[in-house]
Structure 1
């Protein structure tokens, strides 16, 4: 509860004990599956609680750097190498040592209305007059994929109706299309499936979790890593989200 606002901060009061605060993991990123991790820990009577901080991949890295989060979820493709995440992580963290662990691979693509009434087949169709999209914020992996595809096709952004209509997550993109606010948008298959939308796959992506090295031995992070190395948890995520979890828990980089 906010007690007093100051120019450079604020005084707050919390209803949680220090032990409850210390056993909470703040996970910044755009993966809706954080809710499943929270449920998994609760079902196993773990004292650790995961809290999602929904934001773009770039904002998640910044939250990690600013010590506003314990974990950053990232899916950012480096255009030069085609590699996922490691170059953006190095740029954001500088000399800070980190642990990068795979969470899953997923399909990113275009979602459209059920039955695909406008016969959208690829990003090339987004330049059609009158076709409306819903977009993700700058710094998100979905926005990066859209901009890269438009650039390769030679489609100017101002030709794409709805380019400036931004929402804050994969599920929000799907919700906007389901509500008739847009005809298409970039999201993951999970988002399209959740709202019964048509899905046109574009690319497979690797979603990694980034942890500052000094936090890796803390009890909450160890509990999260234990979950990621559980075959049952990996199977549950795979079944519920249609993710590829064959490499879940594997260290990508140190």
Structure 2
């Protein structure tokens, strides 16, 4: 990707799959560099690369070096290209997918990564814009992960759902938990301010489903409309004291200073492919890698992952 100047806030919002107001929020918090032309705010692609790199540095440090998030060899912007003109696109935001794409490229598969949340990932698979979706979407009615959403968001399409890992989801709170936050009910407290994930993220869905069960409305929760697109960023906001609580996974909490983790739900993180693609060379290679001892050894000593079912077929819809 060549450096370009004069990117607008709207351009950057499209690249990062966040709202335009979210970009101005990053500027206000000094989390993304920019420059001004008169009174207008502008960015370069280097600014965007630096922001994504900072957001992922802690996660990448746990495993052997991985290329930067906007390296053209691995980053795929769904708003800029059509799938057929790109390569084998794996959608999702976990470190394990970055390592998987590296293994695929070593086997000659042009693996690219699209960093969007679970809901939009499944929609993109339905629209034929990606090859592999990933999801960790909890359904309160069935107490199941992902299967109800695949059936709803990919109607009439046969899919294979394969496990990647199990992770513990819960609450990020300040070190020592000074406000004694323990459960979903605490979001209704007047003295609690949260920071939220973007619509469609698995953590956001988990929160919303539990709020629904409690009869609570998100619009009445302080900070509910304050959205960000990564676990690392919301955990960092809690660590800095900009918010009292956020929802995310345990692995990230171990990487951020001044943050404690309250475990609430063991989630299943799965990848989803169309059944008609299961026997293609790319998907076959991907499944073989997931099931290989060499790949699994990458994650055996990293906290926050339960890979006991990695590569296992959960269900065919």
Query: Hey, what's the Cα distance between the residues in 1 that align with 2:137 and 2:304?
Result: 20
Q: How does 1:37-48 map to 2 (within 5 A)?
A: 37-41=100-104, 45-48=106-109
Counting strand residues as a fraction of each chain, which structure ranks higher?
Answer: 1
Contact 2:165 2:309 survives alignment (8 Å): yes
Q: Is the contact made by 1:31 and 1:73 (CA closer than 8 Å) also made in structure 2?
A: no
Q: How many residues align structurally?
A: 236
Partner in structure 1 of residue 222 of structure 2: 161
The alpha-carbon deviation at position 179 of structure 1 amounts to 3.6
The normalised TM-score by structure 1 is 0.83
CA distance in 2, matches of 1:236, 1:199: 24
> What's the offset of the Cα at 1:144?
1.7
Q: What is the Cα deviation at residue 228 of structure 1?
A: 0.8
Give structure 1 stretches of 5+ with no counterpart.
3-14
Residue in 2 aligned with 1:198?
A: 260
2:193 to 132, 140, 157: 132
Uncovered stretches (5+) of structure 2, i.e. residues with no partner: 3-71, 74-83
The answer for the alignment partner of 1:80 in structure 2 is 141
Q: 1:96 to 1:162 in 2, by over 3 A?
A: same
CA displacement, residues 140-159 of structure 1 (integer Å, 9 cap, x when unaligned): 22112112222333433233
Q: Is 2:174 the partner of 1:144?
A: no
Question: What is the Cα deviation at residue 241 of structure 1?
Answer: 4.7
Q: Tell me the residue number matched to 1:34.
A: 97
Paired residue for 2:295? 233
Q: Which residue of 1 aligns with 2:120?
A: 59
Q: 1:209 aligns with which of 271, 276, 298?
A: 271
Which of structures 1 and 2 has the larger relative contact order (alpha carbons within 8 angstroms, sep 6+)?
A: 1
- Listed one character per residue, the Cα deviations across residues 85-118 of structure 1 (whole Å, up to 9, x for unaligned) are 1111011111112221111111110011233232
1:7 corresponds to which residue?
none
Question: TM-score with structure 2 length normalisation?
Answer: 0.68
3-state SS of the aligned residue for 2:119?
helix
